[in-house]
Amino acid sequence: DADVTQTPRNRITKTGKRIMLECSQTKGHDRMYWYRQDPGLGLRLIYYSFDVKDINKGEISDGYSVSRQAQAKFSLSLESAIPNQTALYFCATSDRPNGHEQFFGPGTRLTVL
């Protein structure tokens, strides 16, 4: 019974294609985040949203866009995928009273050829 789900779990695409990664949560949290993980680099923040009308760029937002369709849904788009966007992508949530602890989805492994 996953609280934070991500779809797809794996995706292989070609350079120049538009890709959307989706995240849904049943935790009722206001805050949602997108990270990418690369070997040896840890997690880097792409975008975050503290509520439905709030979208903020993170450390590495170039080449990405997001949409917060509802409190429970936060999508990440790659408008024109390039090979160096090959990575493991994680969605995370946190709640207002305890906003520092994050809850992660299982990840999406994206390969751009």
Partner 1 sequence: AQSVTQLGSHVSVSEGALVLLRCNYSSSVPPYLFWYVQYPNQGLQLLLKYTSAATLVKGINGFEAEFKKSETSFHLTKPSAHMSDAAEYFCAVSKGGSYIPTFGRGTSLIVHP
| Residue nearer to partner 1 on the CB measure, 58 or 63 | 58
Give the footprint of partner 1 on this chain (CB under 8 A).
Answer: 4, 31, 40-45, 48, 50, 58, 90, 92, 94, 99-107
Maximum alpha-carbon separation in the chain: 42
Sign of CA dihedral 48, 65, 9, 45: negative
- Minimal distance in Å, beta carbon 105 to partner 1? 5
- Minimal distance in Å, beta carbon 6 to partner 1? 8
Count of C-beta atoms within a 10 Å radius of residue 19: 19
| Residue nearer to partner 1 on the CB measure, 44 or 73 | 44
